[in-house]
Structure 1
Amino acid sequence: MTCPSRSRFNEDVQFDYETRLALGSVRHGGADAGEVLATAAAVADGDGERWFTAWAELAARTAERAGHSAAEGRTVSARDGWLRAAGYAGTALVAADAVAGPAGRPAELFREHRTWFDRFLRACDPPAEPVSIPYGDTTLPGYLVDPPGGSGPLPTLIANNGSDGPLSSVWTMLGAPAAARGYRVLLFDGPGQQSMLFDRGVPFRPDWEHVITPVTDFLLARPGTDARRIALAGVSQAGYWVPRALAFEHRIAAAVADPGVVRVVDSWWHQLGPELRGLWESGDRDTFDGVLREGLAQDPALAATWHWRARPYGIDSPFDLLTEVSRYDVTAVADRITTPLLITDPDGEHFWPGAARELYDLLPGPKRLVRFTEEEGAHLHCEPMGRALFEQRVFDWLDDHLTLP
């Protein structure tokens, strides 16, 4: 995979992209530009172990300073430090599967990441409310964040995470700009995401309506929720989950897919290539698994990326994994979507190139395709460094669709 750009922060494509995400989060306090650039420069050769260690150490230092500020009653400094610490820990965890030594290091860092993010949300004004959303015979953990000064029935944004990003990134990408515009925000972990994966071992599921419908039920049972103004926005792989849910859940007033995704498995085939795809399509499970595992054994960086992306599915066999991922396809149900849907389409989309337009063309109802270009500096998957432009275009559209007559 390649990401078109005029400069690179890292030799590794994924680490280069993660650096851009961290810089984009500066807009809402998720990072400090100087800290990001200094740390990125120290690990510019793409080594996964060094990446994890450098960002984890920065997270720990930042959290330690936040703790000192909290002990001295310096609420703003502590709050800001907790968010940056959580963000840096999330950046480190991208390389979790490249870490040698004790297997518990990434798990321990994940727990610290959530502790720091929880402290940040509790220090907000008003403090966020931890919630448990009924889901089958268990619950989904989350937070309800009210906007400053918000009262009465409020528009609510359900912020839907992607495949592997930290919840702190969902906050800076969707939650913070929504709260700044007067929305109540619901952050949550769905199956296969964050605490549901790392703490409970619950894998992804393709039928995301069975997630969003309980989430919507939960919101509608809450006082202060305006039933006519519930929006759903999703980033990265949630560009599939959002339209999939909308095909069955029709109480959402407006939604955003950033970017549009039709078939999740396409992002895997872009990296694996046509020969491996042909072998998989032949149905020869044992040969496919053997060839792929041999290739992963010879390329530690690719192996780390593969295991990180495969982890939320909970499937060991590469053949069976790709068979499962192939179920994540919105084609057969897209004609059921009637909710107004905004789809982002950035230049240089390297996971699902062309999918935004394909999804747009499949939709029968109200829709809008929004381009983000390299000339604007808002290119690449989820517009990592074009956040102000993203917020202006996307939230202005949401505001228009959630304004009551």
Structure 2
Amino acid sequence: MQAHGYAPRKALYAKFLKTFTEGARLSGEPLQRMEIPYAGAHLAGVFTPAEGVQGAAPCLVIINGLDSTKEMVYRAGLFPQLLAKRGISSLFLDQPGTGEALRLHGMTAVANTEAWASKVMDYLQTRPEIDPARIGLLGVSLGGYYCPRAVAFEPRFALGVVWGANHDWGEMQKRRLAREGERPVPHYWEHVRWVWGASDMDEFMAIAQQVHLNGVMARIKVPFLVTHGEADRQIPLEYAHQSFDQLTASPDRALKIFTPREGGIHHSSLDNTANAGAWIADWVAQRLGGRVA
């Protein structure tokens, strides 16, 4: 992992954005850029419309993890296409702490994710191609914290999904520090301090201790899916069970552990995102009024 201030990294990111946009244009993908006003700037997203839907369609918002971007998640496992074929539009978003929000606008991550999620919901409810009553939220990796927190405190979301249950990220940082010390993956601690806007390790660890879902999951009152890879080596499987068990107010909760038989057993199913993505897309379609493939 390169240091975030490394000049060639900044140049590469600019080229990455340009290449993604040009590649999508050349391939004829029906995506469009959305810019959602927030904090004096905007949150950038990639929107793909549902197929075969007349009028307003349901929409699933997909948010990043610790160090992913909307373009990376968009390209993982054909997920926007899987959703579109089921009559679900999608918005892959660079929320604060990720992608353009962090790199171009200096927006760092926050524990109270409803602060930006509510602004996203405000914007999407003004879009005529989106059904305001059928907007869901999915989080990948650290999005497994960001998403449930947002759904718990922003009641307009119709459902939530975590692709990797990050129930207590703060505890994982304490374990990492105890196990690997101050030099784990190169620049890891520098990177997370940048993401969270912390000036030193003491400030970062204080912030990290707020990043857990104890007392949060019980506030969720909409359908919610917890998924996890059986062999995830980054986030323990026990966290999936903790998140699911605490969904005591959800009227329709589900736990899906991806096994070796079907694939998708590693962190956020990176070993088989297409298979896991199809399973998740079916679950979402059944609840947002789409089509099951």
TM-score, normalisation: structure 2: 0.89
Say if 2:224 is the partner of 1:363: no
Structure 1 387/214 Cα, relative in aligned 2: closer, same or farther at 3 Å? same
**Structure 1 stretch displaced more, 120-129 or 362-371:** 120-129
CA RMSD of aligned residues (A): 2.3
From 33, 47, 53, the equivalent of 1:130 is 33
1:142: which partner in 2? 45
How far did 1:176 drift? 3.4
Say if 2:287 is the partner of 1:401: yes
Aligned-partner Cα distance in 2 for 1:180–1:394: 13
Are 1:208 and 1:241, in contact at CA under 8 Å, matched by a contact in 2? yes
Say if 2:89 is the partner of 1:184: yes
Are 1:231 and 1:255, in contact at CA under 8 Å, matched by a contact in 2? yes
**Post-superposition CA distance 1:206-258 (Å, at most 9, x none):** 11111211111111101121123212111000100111011111222222111
Are 1:236 and 1:258, in contact at CA under 8 Å, matched by a contact in 2? yes
Higher strand share: 2
From 73, 76, 96, the equivalent of 2:2 is 96
1:279: which partner in 2? none
Aligned-partner Cα distance in 2 for 1:193–1:213: 17
Are 1:242 and 1:256, in contact at CA under 8 Å, matched by a contact in 2? yes
2:71: which partner in 1? 168
2:136: which partner in 1? 231
Are 1:155 and 1:229, in contact at CA under 8 Å, matched by a contact in 2? yes
1:214: which partner in 2? 119
Are 1:160 and 1:233, in contact at CA under 8 Å, matched by a contact in 2? yes
**Structure 1 stretch displaced more, 145-154 or 208-217:** 145-154
Say if 2:168 is the partner of 1:263: yes
1:194: which partner in 2? 99
How far did 1:383 drift? 0.8
Higher helix share: 1
How far did 1:344 drift? 0.6
Among all aligned residue pairs of Structure 1 and Structure 2, give the percentage whose two residues are the same amino acid.
26
How far did 1:375 drift? 4.0
Structure 1 243/375 Cα, relative in aligned 2: closer, same or farther at 3 Å? same
1:8: which partner in 2? none
2:147: which partner in 1? 242
Are 1:345 and 1:357, in contact at CA under 8 Å, matched by a contact in 2? no
Are 1:126 and 1:147, in contact at CA under 8 Å, matched by a contact in 2? no
Structure 1 143/387 Cα, relative in aligned 2: closer, same or farther at 3 Å? closer
Structure 1 331/379 Cα, relative in aligned 2: closer, same or farther at 3 Å? same
Are 1:347 and 1:380, in contact at CA under 8 Å, matched by a contact in 2? yes
**Residue type at the aligned position of 2:90:** V
Paired residues for 1:327-338 under 5 Å: 327-338=210-221
**Residue type at the aligned position of 1:97:** A
**Residue type at the aligned position of 1:393:** W
Are 1:345 and 1:372, in contact at CA under 8 Å, matched by a contact in 2? yes
From 255, 258, 267, the equivalent of 1:381 is 267
1:348: which partner in 2? 231
Are 1:346 and 1:381, in contact at CA under 8 Å, matched by a contact in 2? yes
How far did 1:201 drift? 1.7
How far did 1:205 drift? 0.5
Secondary structure in 2 matching 1:156: strand
Aligned-partner Cα distance in 1 for 2:274–2:46: 24
Are 1:235 and 1:257, in contact at CA under 8 Å, matched by a contact in 2? yes
Are 1:125 and 1:148, in contact at CA under 8 Å, matched by a contact in 2? no
Aligned-partner Cα distance in 2 for 1:187–1:395: 14
**Post-superposition CA distance 1:320-359 (Å, at most 9, x none):** 1111111112212222111111001211222221111001
**Post-superposition CA distance 1:55-82 (Å, at most 9, x none):** xxxxxxxxxxxxxxxxxxxxxxxxxxxx
How far did 1:199 drift? 1.4
TM-score, normalisation: structure 1: 0.65
Say if 2:192 is the partner of 1:320: no
Secondary structure in 2 matching 1:241: helix
How far did 1:162 drift? 1.1
Gaps of 5+ in 1: 1-94, 277-291
